[in-house]
Each structure stands twice: as C-alpha cells, then as structure tokens.
Copies of this chain bind each other. A is one copy, B any other.
Amino acid sequence: MKEVVLGIDIGGTGIKFGLVDREGNIVASDKAKTKGYPNPDMLPADLLKWSNEQCSALQLKTIGVGIGTPNGNYYKGTIDFAPNLPWKGVIPLKEYFEKAFSLPVALTNDAKAAALGEMIFGAAKGMKDFIFITLGTGLGSGIVVNGNIAYGYDSLAGEVGHTIVYRNGRECPCGRRGCLEQYVSAPGIVKTYYELVRHQNLDEFRTSIGNMIDSAEVYKKAVEGDTIALEAFTKTGEILGFALSNSVCYTRPEKIFLFGGLAQAGDLLFKPTIKSFESYLLPIYKNKIPIVPSGLKESEAAILGSASLILKELN
C-alpha cells in the first residue's frame, strides 16, 4: 500500500484537504465550508471518515496529518485567536486530530506551511535559506534558515507583512501604522490605485468610491494599459522591493519566492519589485538574490504545504 499524508488547509471561507504521496502527487482531495464546523472538534471525525474511504478505495495508507491555518502555533499545535475563523480563543486542533487519527500530526501557520511546500515540492527544493512571501488579503511569510522554518521563540516569527515601511503610513488593523501589508497585498494595491485616482482626478474619485474595483480589476486595467493601474503596480513593487532589501540583511536568502494572487500579475509586479530591490540592496548582495515566482500551483499549494509540514517531520 502506498503511504500518503493528509494535508489540510483551513481558511476563513473554506477548508481544503487532500491525500499526498511522497512525490507530491495529490491523489485525492476535497473541500468543506469552514462555517459548516461551528465547533472545530467535529472536523477530525469527518476527515477521518473521508480519509479512510479514500484509502480503502485507492489502496493507500495514511501515515500523518499536516494542518496549515491562520494563526497556527507550531509549538503548541493550536489556533490562537484567529480573527478570520469562526473558532474563537485558543483551539487545540492538533490534539483533536491526534485523538481522532492516532497518527503524528503537525500544525502551523498557513504561510509557513506554504514555504515548506515550496521547499519540499516547489522551486526551493534543496535550498537551506530562502524567504517565501504570499500576497493575498495580507502579506504572509515563511523564512527558512539552515533548512528549517524560523519559528522563533513562540512560533510567531515570520511577520514580514508587519514590518513598518512608513512610520506614519496607512493604518493597519494591528493597531499601528505603515505596515508593509497595508501597501503590498490585494487590498493594499487597491488603496494605492484609489490614492492615485484621487490625486489625478478628484471628481472621478468621488464617483468611483461608490463602486470600488478589486485587485483583479486593477490588474485587468493595468494589462489594458490604464496608466493609473500601471502606476499602482509600480508603486507596490517599489515598496515591496525596498522592504525585501532590508529583509535580506537578516537571513541572506538564496532566493525570494512570491506567491499568491498579486504575484500572478507577473512582470507588472516583479519588474518594479526587482528594480527597487536592487537599487536599495547592500552592495554585497547586489545581483545575487533572485526574486522569483513560486513553483507551486495556486490550486495545489495549500494542500501541498500542509502535507509538506508533516512529511518533513516524518523524515
């Protein structure tokens, strides 16, 4: 029987899960709605049932469970006060799954899981030092040092999205101002776009705010040659490049990987990011640290990342 692990990605809207073999093939997968589980302790039983069904149908044996989740704490195996999940407080999800499956279980923050996916199955194979950035509704990060995720003292390392790039910049829900993810994220580029619209044409701005576009539409406009949308990408890349030029001073990654919706804009984001990055970079690092797209498919990254977490523990 082929050995597989169960990779589970928990999001604010949906839960994705799949059985993954050691080569990174997702041999079975499915999804559920997060709000279908008002109590998280009901999730393990359902996933065990699903997993058992798949395993007997496909002649597989599950040997471990990996979980990626917002606010996941690797050391404690808990989800801690996740604002975007229906589960409040501290949820000992690792323990729930261990009881249900009687298998090794590991849980971590979703961005860290994705970074591990990049290392085990993506474009960072064999790398010992890299930075993985995921650009979505926020800016998540996983920092790999000496071949391992940097968890830090309490598992809360890797908050590159909350490094301050403008001391008196945009307000962040974290309570501070000027955090990187207020500029470099899907909502961030939309804000930049509307700042530019307002600067150029106040009347147009007043009309448009009743019917705001999202980051996908900013991208579409940029592709069509809209100068304001293009400028929004340039500014976003400029800020990201600056922030990353500081990032490399800490752990000197071999490469930096960008993942997520905004990263799929390709050259629109990468060109200004790399230009800015190189211009701000300490000379000893110049032209040595590529900023490249993730090697993971958007559709597979969440499950592969969670699976990688437990595969790495089992090896």
Check B282 against A159 for contact (C-beta < 8 Å): yes
Query: Could you give, for residues 271-304 of chain A, a 1 whenever the CB lies within 8 Å of some chain B CB and a 0 otherwise?
Result: 0000000001011110011000000000000000
Which residue of B153, B175, B249, B288 is within 8 Å of A163 (Cβ)?
B249
Query: Could you give, for residues 159-179 of chain A, a 1 whenever the CB lies within 8 Å of some chain B CB and a 0 otherwise?
Result: 110111001000000111000
* Segment at the B interface, from A44-52, A186-194, A202-210, A239-247: A239-247
Check B167 against A252 for contact (C-beta < 8 Å): no
A156 at the interface (CB under 8 A from B): yes
Check A156 against B242 for contact (C-beta < 8 Å): no
Given A145-B145, A283-B175, is A150 in contact with B251 using a C-beta cutoff of 8 Å? yes
| Chain B residue nearest to A157 in the complex (CB) | B252
Which residue of B246, B251, B253, B283 is within 8 Å of A251 (Cβ)?
B251
CB neighbors of B among A55-103 (8 A): none
Check B252 against A163 for contact (C-beta < 8 Å): no
Q: How many subunits of this chain does the assembly comprise?
A: 2
Given A158-B250, A251-B251, is A282 in contact with B174 using a C-beta cutoff of 8 Å? yes
Which residue of B146, B152, B249, B280 is within 8 Å of A148 (Cβ)?
B146
Q: In the docked arrangement, what's the CA distance between A175 and B280, Å?
A: 10
A154 at the interface (CB under 8 A from B): yes
A231 at the interface (CB under 8 A from B): no
Check B156 against A146 for contact (C-beta < 8 Å): no
Nearest chain B CB to A308's CB is how many angstroms away?
18
Contacts of A155 in B (CB 8 A): 252
Given A251-B152, A252-B157, is A246 in contact with B163 using a C-beta cutoff of 8 Å? yes
Contacts of A159 in B (CB 8 A): 249, 252, 282, 284
A183 at the interface (CB under 8 A from B): no
Contacts of A167 in B (CB 8 A): 242, 280
Check B160 against A249 for contact (C-beta < 8 Å): yes
Identify 17 residue pairs between A and B in the complex whose beta-carbon atoms are under 8 Å apart, listed by A's number: A145-B145, A145-B150, A146-B146, A150-B150, A153-B252, A153-B289, A154-B288, A158-B249, A158-B252, A159-B249, A159-B252, A162-B249, A164-B245, A164-B280, A167-B242, A167-B280, A250-B250
Q: Which residues of chain A have a CB within 8 Å of any CB of chain B?
A: 128-129, 143, 145-146, 148, 150-160, 162-164, 167, 174-176, 242, 245-247, 249-254, 280, 282-285, 288-289
